[in-house]
A and B are shown apart, each in its own frame.
Chain A
Amino acid sequence: MNMRAHFVTAALFALSGTLSAQWFDYPTKGIPRLPDGKANLNAPAPKTPDGKPDLSGVWLGDQWSPAGRRPNPPGEGRGGGGRGGGGRGGGAPEMLPWAQRVFDERRATSLRDDPEARCMPQGVPKASTLPYPFEIVNASNKTLILFEMYSLRRQIFTDGRELPKDAKDYAQPSWMGYSIGKWDGDEFVVTTAGINDQVWNIDLAGHPHSDALRITERYHRVDFGHMDVNVTIDDPKTYASQWTMPVMRYTLLPDTDLFEFVCEKNIDPQHMVGK
């Protein structure tokens, strides 16, 4: 078989294939590009009209992107951001005895009982560590994070409101919790609480939480194509002390948009034996 013929025809198809592909490879408008037309991921980070860094865009964890994961700076924990989620390498937290028992049982059964396998939502920050992109959208008085996986979304209020201090003050604890965002220099600092007890694991490693969980995320858009997020977990009912996950690193996905993802038909759980 003549492979050259295949490749030549492939080029012709590339011209005709655009129309049917306008949601996953439609060129993003208004982004910096290199002479060859590719997005310039190393261009400076954009700013919003009020001079703050503009975090908007479609982002994917480095470890899932074709270019691979950027290494952590010296001294920072390994792994994290993705499957390790802080549970491996330098970022392992010290758990209270009940949490350690739960965690060990989960690891021993290969996370079989994770409700995500039954199409239930992820929590924070786990939803940001998956191999599906999420999109940050600037809105008036809030920032939205739209997650492709399971079509979830977070609202981060930037209108000056404060989070209730105590767990009992959250009338309706939720999967994604309640979030407020403030700027600290070039970092967007998001604090989240009010996460419900149906959130099973806060990361892919399987770490548990209590109603005292408070998460602080610091978003830093390093340049046009790269963003780092530092996550600190504060949950005195679960962990012996506050701990920080290894930095989560994201690469911008240009020229694509989110798809709908409804977890509609799931036949796995009946086969999940765990061990």
Chain B
Amino acid sequence: MKYFLIFVVAAAPLLAHHSFAAEFDNKKPVELKGTLVELEWVNPHAWIHMEVTDPSGKVTKWDCELGSPNLLMRNGWRRDSLKKGDVIIVSGSQAKDGSNLANARTVSLPMASASSTRAHRAIRVLRARSRSRLIPPHRNPRTQVSQEGLTRSQLRVLDW
């Protein structure tokens, strides 16, 4: 569980096919760690449906908005990038209406639990996008390894 594969949504909130600001509040950041119920692969947005368990054991359902399947695919995702039961961490912004709805900025999953195919496919795209030879992530200018040991790829999940 040392390394996480992180799908970066975007460096800043983008207008979506709908306006970001009409629906989400970038002053309400959320970080949700939970279990994937479903990656719903539909236009205009793919959705992560997940269950978050708080310290008292209470389970809360959350819906997290991603970009469209088209943009996700061009940025390295596939419809099987996440599987039911995956432990994931979603960070993003909560809906202004206060519901358990968020616009996902990054989605991370433990590299160890990601199926090798999914992880490698993502890395392949990362490598192609870095326009460089195979180099370790810490030396790749488009990749950063944070103190927590998280591998931040540039697999953007544009929110459109």
Q: Are B136 and A7 in contact (CB under 8 A)?
A: yes
Q: Are B43 and A261 in contact (CB under 8 A)?
A: yes
B95 located at the interface, meaning its Cβ lies under 8 Å from any Cβ of chain A in the complex = yes
Given the known interface contacts A131-B158, A132-B70, the answer about A110 and B121 at a Cβ–Cβ threshold of 8 Å is no
Q: Are A271 and B101 in contact (CB under 8 A)?
A: yes
- In the bound complex, what is the Cα–Cα distance between A112 and B87 (angstroms)? 34
B111 located at the interface, meaning its Cβ lies under 8 Å from any Cβ of chain A in the complex = yes
Q: Which among B19, B45, B73, B137 is the interface contact of A110 at CB below 8 angstroms?
A: B19
Q: Secondary structure of the A side of the interface? A: loop
Q: Are B22 and A111 in contact (CB under 8 A)?
A: yes
A69 vs chain B, min Cβ distance (A)? 14
A87 vs chain B, min Cβ distance (A)? 13
A223 located at the interface, meaning its Cβ lies under 8 Å from any Cβ of chain B in the complex = no
B38 vs chain A, min Cβ distance (A)? 13
- In the bound complex, what is the Cα–Cα distance between A64 and B160 (angstroms)? 11
Beta-carbon contacts under 8 Å, B80-122 to A: 95-97, 99, 101, 111-112, 116-117, 119-121
B31 located at the interface, meaning its Cβ lies under 8 Å from any Cβ of chain A in the complex = no
Given the known interface contacts A3-B136, A131-B160, A261-B68, the answer about A9 and B120 at a Cβ–Cβ threshold of 8 Å is yes
- In the bound complex, what is the Cα–Cα distance between A148 and B69 (angstroms)? 12
The interface size of chain A toward B, counting residues with CB under 8 Å, comes to: 47
Chain B residue numbers with a CB within 8 Å of A112 are: 18-19, 22
Chain A residue numbers with a CB within 8 Å of B45 are: 266, 268
Q: Are B120 and A6 in contact (CB under 8 A)?
A: yes
Chain A residue numbers with a CB within 8 Å of B152 are: none
B75 vs chain A, min Cβ distance (A)? 10
Chain B residue numbers with a CB within 8 Å of A97 are: none
A180 located at the interface, meaning its Cβ lies under 8 Å from any Cβ of chain B in the complex = no
- In the bound complex, what is the Cα–Cα distance between A265 and B65 (angstroms)? 12
B17 vs chain A, min Cβ distance (A)? 6
**Nearest CB in chain A to that of B20: its residue:** A110
- In the bound complex, what is the Cα–Cα distance between A71 and B99 (angstroms)? 41
A24 located at the interface, meaning its Cβ lies under 8 Å from any Cβ of chain B in the complex = yes
Given the known interface contacts A130-B160, A256-B74, A271-B101, the answer about A7 and B22 at a Cβ–Cβ threshold of 8 Å is no
Q: C-beta contact mask, B41-75 vs A, less than 8 Å → 1, else 0?
A: 01111010000000000000001010011110110
B21 located at the interface, meaning its Cβ lies under 8 Å from any Cβ of chain A in the complex = yes
B45 vs chain A, min Cβ distance (A)? 7
B11 located at the interface, meaning its Cβ lies under 8 Å from any Cβ of chain A in the complex = no
Q: Are A273 and B71 in contact (CB under 8 A)?
A: no
A161 vs chain B, min Cβ distance (A)? 33
Given the known interface contacts A7-B134, A259-B70, A259-B73, the answer about A273 and B23 at a Cβ–Cβ threshold of 8 Å is yes
- In the bound complex, what is the Cα–Cα distance between A64 and B74 (angstroms)? 12
A63 vs chain B, min Cβ distance (A)? 10
Q: Which among A7, A64, A110, A131 is the interface contact of B21 at CB below 8 angstroms?
A: A110
Chain A residue numbers with a CB within 8 Å of B3 are: 1, 3
- In the bound complex, what is the Cα–Cα distance between A267 and B129 (angstroms)? 32
Q: Are A11 and B22 in contact (CB under 8 A)?
A: no
Chain A residue numbers with a CB within 8 Å of B123 are: 6-7, 10
Q: A46-54, A113-121, A136-144, A237-245: which lies at the B interface? A: A113-121
B55 vs chain A, min Cβ distance (A)? 28
Chain A residue numbers with a CB within 8 Å of B42 are: 264-265
Q: Are A271 and B71 in contact (CB under 8 A)?
A: no
- In the bound complex, what is the Cα–Cα distance between A1 and B2 (angstroms)? 7
Q: Are B17 and A271 in contact (CB under 8 A)?
A: no
Between A and B, 14 residue pairs with Cβ closer than 8 Å are: A1-B2, A6-B111, A7-B134, A10-B134, A11-B124, A112-B19, A114-B18, A119-B17, A130-B160, A148-B70, A261-B43, A261-B70, A262-B43, A273-B23
